[in-house]
Structure 1
Amino acid sequence: MALGFTPAVQITGANAALINTHLVDWEHVDASGVKSDTLKLTVRIDDLEGMPSFEGKIGLLVGYHESGLVDKGEFNITRCQPQLFPPLLKIIATAAPFKVADETKFKERRSASYGPTTLGAIFRELASKHGFSPRISPELDAKVVEHLDQSNETDMGFLTRVAKVYDAVTKPVNELYVMAKRGEVKSLSGKTLPVVTLSVTKGNSPNDRSFINAELDEESRVKFKGCKTVWWDGASGKECVVETGSAPFKKVAQRYQNEAEAKDAGEGMARKIKRGEKKIRIDCPGNPDLGAEGLIELDDTWPSFMRGQWSIDQVTATGSRQQSYRCSISATLPVA
């Protein structure tokens, strides 16, 4: 996508006309499933008579006048914070249904037990209960669950915890709720994220609109190359060990109910270890094609130790009259 030069943002939905004419700055956090996407808006209220009701859904479109705007989804307004001086209103919205009137008890902690069943059946039951249309990858859908306890957790927190065992993520996307391996979230939700190539311009300077900065974090401690998971074999009355990868091994404290669960957990942990070997943080010009679960390609204009593809964990996009439109990216090594 060829980017333009004139940043543009448009809010749709509840009080859109008022917000667009009074908008001071905005922040959109697109995260990879660990938490809901959030949208924060700052609006001038110095010329308003009374405070209008800011409830319902709002949408975000962002990009450039020259190349067009990209729809970043809908958000439920969850909080409004007016202040006296300067006279501003902060609006906070999330992609998940966090509303004051929590009809489906989405935020309520509860305990329950599941099994024998499948991971897909559990996911569909909980996602549908809160009005979402569930989407789960076929590989995860078929996972057999002998027994699983939800212990004083919200349904979203429980699903997130279970997904981590398989190195997967859960994420609300508009009316959908997705559970997928990293990198599959966007495809299951019907969105396709292109690989975004980033180039460092010659004479890269903080005074330039195209300025890019980056920081590489490489784990300096002893690096694990694999992990050990354990399961209890009732027939032989002993604990069995499953090794995934190679030494040195990281041992997972939890004991699993059978060999299949131990193997799944081991493979998930091995992928997580591989991703954690290197992390990169990038500050760059705003690009609406950047999104969590997408890929970025650092081309030959970058130092050799940073080049190649990286998997995006989080994108924080910001815009204002003073700071224009910028993106802050957190990314790790992609793992097949």
Structure 2
Amino acid sequence: MSYPIPQWRVVLDGTDLTERIAPRLRDLTLTECRGGDADQLDLSIHDHDGKMALPKRGVRLSVALGWKATGLIDKGTFIVDEVEYSGAPDIITVRARSADLTADMRTRRERSWHNTTLGAVLNALAGEHGLTPRVADALARTKLPHLDQANESDMNLLTRLGQRFDAVATVKAGALVFAPIGAGTTATGKPLPTVTLTRRDGDQHRYSVADRDAYTGVRAYWVDKGKARRQSVLVGTDDNANRLRESYADEATARQHAHAELERVKRGIAKFDYTLAIGRADLFPEQTVKVSGFKPEIDGQRWLIAKTTHTVSGSSGFSTSLELETAA
């Protein structure tokens, strides 16, 4: 019986280090997030003979993962921002984050937009950082009467807008991506394929469902300056409504936040974590998943990948862990 052989590649500033570090590999972990948090690469290698140099912060690491039978899948480029040297036995651990999140994107700024659209703001952000805007049409047309960026980085602003509109808001592969969570499409409207997984594909799983956050609606508040009083807007029903603490500038903004929060509540009622025995480098956040071989409540649910963790170990091969939440 033949077993699949994992394959991987690590390139440091254009130099392929794969063969050199393969005998020393302790583990390589790539965590891919939906938005807000940067994708992260953790690489740990043995340095028992002291022959490995510590990499400098700021260098670029490119990573590809896969299997010898099917080939490699490019998983992006990362910038080293943490290096750790520990022992005994001596181990070098390198942590790197998505290269698209530049220092300039984390620089705090002061500015405002007036009588514009969400698409115009996101296109401006993309242009300032040399990124290609990938903004879903339905969101791009949303009117923004006023938007402040007060002592806030462009990345934080992008994340905040993503929370306001319940959207994937991230920077990957040279593009600024802004698209509805769970839409099943890319920002350009191209459908994402549904992934089918069976119980035989994995070796660990955990399902949880809870009523404590099963709100029927969300109520948000806004200040009516003309009447000098606080008003509210309800999305969903008031049977068991969650109330947002913050007061917003106008009714439209309050409604947007209430709608986004209700969508997050719906997705979070049930969660399913699944570790695949044979790693799948082709899986990434926002893909929809259909599973079989579990309980009816699990098999009958459409799932959405919220987070992927790909791990290559020197001792146990290549596996992929999925954090799934309910899809609408």
TM-score for both structures, normalised by structure 1: 0.84
Structure 1 residue aligned with 2:81: 78
SS at match of 2:296: coil
SS at match of 1:116: strand
Deviation at 1:131, TM superposition (A): 2.6
1:287 aligns with 2:280: yes
Contact 1:223 1:277 survives alignment (8 Å) = yes
Query: What are the equivalent positions in structure 2 for 1:241-320 lying under 5 Å apart?
Result: 241-246=232-237, 247-285=239-277, 286-299=279-292, 301-307=293-299, 308-320=301-313
Deviation at 1:291, TM superposition (A): 0.8
Deviation at 1:98, TM superposition (A): 5.2
Change (3 A) 1:56 1:95: same
Change (3 A) 1:199 1:185: closer
User: How far apart are the structure 1 equivalents of 2:68 and 2:213?
Assistant: 49
1:34 aligns with 2:27: no
Contact 2:60 2:99 survives alignment (8 Å) = no
**What do residues 86-116 of structure 1 show as CA deviations (whole Å, max 9, x unaligned)?**
34332222214456xx4x3x22233333223
Kindly indicate which of the two structures has a greater share of residues assigned to strand: 2
Structure 2 residue aligned with 1:11: 10
Deviation at 1:293, TM superposition (A): 1.0
Change (3 A) 1:231 1:52: closer
Stretch deviating more after TM superposition (32-41 or 249-258):
249-258
SS at match of 1:59: strand
Contact 1:196 1:289 survives alignment (8 Å) = no
**What do residues 192-216 of structure 1 show as CA deviations (whole Å, max 9, x unaligned)?**
6432222113xxxxxxxx5422112
Structure 1 residue aligned with 2:163: 164
User: How far apart are the structure 1 equivalents of 2:19 and 2:50?
Assistant: 14
Alignment: residue pair count: 319
Change (3 A) 1:98 1:232: closer
Q: Which amino acid aligns with 1:76?
A: I
Q: CA RMSD in A?
A: 2.7
Deviation at 1:304, TM superposition (A): 1.2
SS at match of 2:16: helix
Deviation at 1:59, TM superposition (A): 2.1
Q: Which amino acid aligns with 2:309?
A: T
Q: Which amino acid aligns with 1:35?
A: D
SS at match of 1:306: helix
**What do residues 229-263 of structure 1 show as CA deviations (whole Å, max 9, x unaligned)?**
23334455544332211222112223333333232
User: How far apart are the structure 2 equivalents of 1:46 and 1:260?
Assistant: 61
SS at match of 2:107: coil
User: How far apart are the structure 2 equivalents of 1:147 and 1:266?
Assistant: 18
1:230 aligns with 2:221: yes
| Match for residue 332 of structure 1 among 317, 325, 328 | 325
User: How far apart are the structure 1 equivalents of 2:247 and 2:80?
Assistant: 41
Structure 2 stretches of 5 or more lacking a match? none
Structure 2 residue aligned with 1:93: 96
Contact 2:73 2:281 survives alignment (8 Å) = yes
Deviation at 1:173, TM superposition (A): 0.8
User: How far apart are the structure 1 equivalents of 2:150 and 2:230?
Assistant: 25
User: How far apart are the structure 2 equivalents of 1:164 and 1:10?
Assistant: 35
Structure 1 residue aligned with 2:208: 217
Contact 1:179 1:185 survives alignment (8 Å) = no
User: How far apart are the structure 2 equivalents of 1:53 and 1:32?
Assistant: 28
SS at match of 1:289: coil
Contact 2:184 2:287 survives alignment (8 Å) = no
Structure 1 stretches of 5 or more lacking a match? 202-209
Contact 1:178 1:185 survives alignment (8 Å) = no
Q: Which amino acid aligns with 1:90?
A: T
1:60 aligns with 2:63: yes
User: How far apart are the structure 1 equivalents of 2:319 and 2:29?
Assistant: 10
SS at match of 2:219: strand
Stretch deviating more after TM superposition (82-91 or 32-41):
82-91
User: How far apart are the structure 2 equivalents of 1:222 and 1:144?
Assistant: 31
Contact 1:28 1:316 survives alignment (8 Å) = yes
User: How far apart are the structure 1 equivalents of 2:87 and 2:203?
Assistant: 37
